[in-house]
Amino acid sequence: MMGMTITEKILAAHAGIDRVEPGQLINVKVDLVLGNDITAPVAIHEFDRIGVDTVWDRERVVLVPDHFVPNKDIMSAEQAKQLREFAHKHQLTNYYEVGRMGVEHCLLPEQGLVGPGDLVIGADSHTCTYGGLGAFSTGVGSTDLAAAMALGETWLKVPESIKFVYNGNLPRWVGGKDLILYTIGQIGVDGALYMAMEFTGPAIEGLGIDGRMTMANMAIEAGAKNGIVPPDEITRNYVENRAKRPYTFYQSDPDARYAQVIEIDVSKLEPQIAFPHLPENTRPVSEAADVTIDQVVIGSCTNGRLSDLQLAAEVLKGHRVSDNLRLLVIPGTQDIYLQALREGLVEQFINAGAAVSTPTCGPCLGGHMGILAKGERALATTNRNFVGRMGHPESEVYLCNPAVAAASAVLGRIAAPWEVE
Amino acid sequence: MTLKGNVWKFGADVDTDAIIPARYLNTSDPAELAKHCMEDADPEFPNKMQPGDIIVAGKNFGCGSSREHAPIAIKAAGVSCVIAKSYARIFYRNAFNIGLPIFECSEAAEAIEEGDEVAVDAAQGIVKNITKNETYQATPVPEFMQQIIDAGGLIDYVAKRLQGQNKE
């Protein structure tokens, strides 16, 4: 009998069976479900139609208003109010109000609400982020969320897995964002459609937990069901004093079956830029010269964590933001914001001429707090550069890592970090 | 059930921001969402399409966000079904869950041209191009998904299941 991958093992454990095969349809127990201020209102409407008195577990239904908060307009305020009222009515223990909230996929791992071996579904496509901790997590729509809020279960098709092996040492200024952008550039935006992306190899073993979450976060940008990193000591150090529930470290068997194994040598990799209008349009930063930009955004569920802010501050040190450009820095959670304050990063950003915002998804999806005008161009540490993603349909978004974002903010054009050293 | 209409054709990797831009997601009212359906792919689409019309697209239709507002907008605009080479997985689930008929068919996605009149036998997955007098076979729907469709969508499926449990 063939061995199983980490994804298959987590799915089998939550289906209450010994083994699963790719393609098999299974009913699984979920450890946690998640909704936000865009998706939860639809889910709440559907939940109320099911005819159950309350949610399956009031400690495991998490609601985080983060997309259009602090409320951007009256209609958004109505949507956020629906979450608040639902959380109150069902006495949810994990509703995060403005002032305590964060960008959901930065917040949940930080608060210890997800851990290795968990199975989590969320009505947000970037729910796959938690794979960075060795969990199976995937995005669903609002109706799937509503059903799981009532049942504590959902159905899944067991995905095939692609194993990515990252060999070599990561060059300076190259991190998780560059690995995942490069990978999407290689396989395309549907290169892992319906599949699991398993990120392994020496370069991953040396990558911090933030970078691992960045990689898993963008698995959806290759069409994947989930991205996952085998948990290790780095994972343990991150979760051991946070986890609110017991966790399990699963590892793929040596004889596990993969649809494909892709080896990538990272030792010569440059920071990557995804050009408009798909994340797969990647180029090394040295081939992105002469692209002038109007706005730089550092933040989001992809790169709004403390190490991202530290990296940006390191590059900005002693420099000022170009006169022709706005730099927006958005810490992912209140804890990250506080830590950035303590370390002097926020002061550094403000002294450099940046705007620092309370946590929000805001500009990443063209919601608020940094919308682009017609013809404007942004460079962002976010995850999508689709047409109109950050504002006007005739604006453009380029994607990059936080160091490149900071260097580019100084020079007013897409630039490599070594250009400002 | 036969779904019949004229075709509007789109390319590959149509993302959910193109189907319904996030600037309109401060509501989930289907009628409001319908007014902006496909707006960033074709600003005129909401005005020029007729109820019953069919969207035909390339690979990876509905990629990106998990927003269920995307299939809701398409359905509320009056589009009778979508035919594409392949679908992003969250969109695929969402479409079934809210009752928007979608069909996976590479042959149809390539052969059908904008303006063609097409009729789809939903139960059999048979796509008939009336204009070109051609027929294509869509990938069969997994049996489990068919149960959700037969129940009238996921919520009714779950509600029935819970009623069954209460009787036990």
10-residue averages of pLDDT along chain A (421 residues) = 95 98 96 98 97 96 98 98 98 98 98 98 98 98 98 96 98 98 98 98 98 98 98 98 97 98 98 98 95 98 98 98 98 98 98 98 98 98 98 98 98 97 85
Buried b (16+ CB within 10 A) or exposed e, A324-351: ebbbbbbbbbbbbbebbeeeebbebbee
Whether ipTM tops 0.90, in short, is yes
Interface residue B63 vs chain A (CB under 8 A) = yes
Residue closest to B165 by CA, chosen among A51, A400, A240, A381? A51
B28, B75, B148, best to mutate vs chain A, most A CBs in 10 Å: B28
Per-residue pLDDT at B166: 63
Instruction: Please check the confidence at residue B133 and state whether its pLDDT lies above 60.
Output: yes
Inform me whether the C-beta atom of residue B23 falls under 8 Å from chain A C-beta atoms: yes
CB contact under 8 A, B17 and A384: yes
Q: Do B86 and A75 touch (CB under 8 A)?
A: no
Determine whether the interchain pair A123/B66 forms a contact, defined as Cβ–Cβ distance below 8 Å.
yes
All residues of chain B having their beta carbon less than 8 Å from the beta carbon of residue A124 are 65-66
The answer to whether the Cβ–Cβ distance between B154 and A125 falls below 8 Å is no
Q: Which of residues 68-87 of B touch A (CB under 8 A)?
A: 68-69, 72, 86
Residue type, A324: N
Q: Span B125-152, mean pLDDT? A: 90
CB contact (8 A) between residue B88 and residue A223: yes
Query: Is the Cβ pair A143, B155 closer than 8 Å?
Result: yes
Does the distance separating the beta carbons of B88 and A193 come in below 8 Å?
A: yes
What gap in Å lies between CA B39 and CA B16, rounded to an integer?
Answer: 11
For residue B54, the Cα-to-chain-centroid distance in whole angstroms is 9
Q: Show residues of chain A in contact with B153, CB under 8 Å.
A: 143
Which residue shows structure tokens 């946690």? A32
- 200-259 in A: which are within 8 Å (CB) of B? 220, 223, 225
pLDDT reading at B168 higher than 70:
no
A79 vs B contacts (CB less than 8 Å): 26-28
> Are A75 and B26 within 8 A, CB to CB?
yes
pLDDT the model gives residue B144: 78
A382 and B CB contact within 8 Å: no
CB pairs under 8 A between A and B: 138
Chain A: closest CA distance from residue B97 (Å): 6
Determine the distance in angstroms separating the CA of A123 from the nearest CA of chain B, rounded to an integer.
6
Residues of A with Cβ-Cβ distance to B22 under 8 angstroms: 38, 67, 365-367, 389
User: H/E element holding B57?
Assistant: strand B54-57
Average model confidence (pLDDT) across chain B: 94
Query: Which residues in chain B touch residue A193, judged by CB atoms under 8 angstroms apart?
Result: 60, 86, 88-89
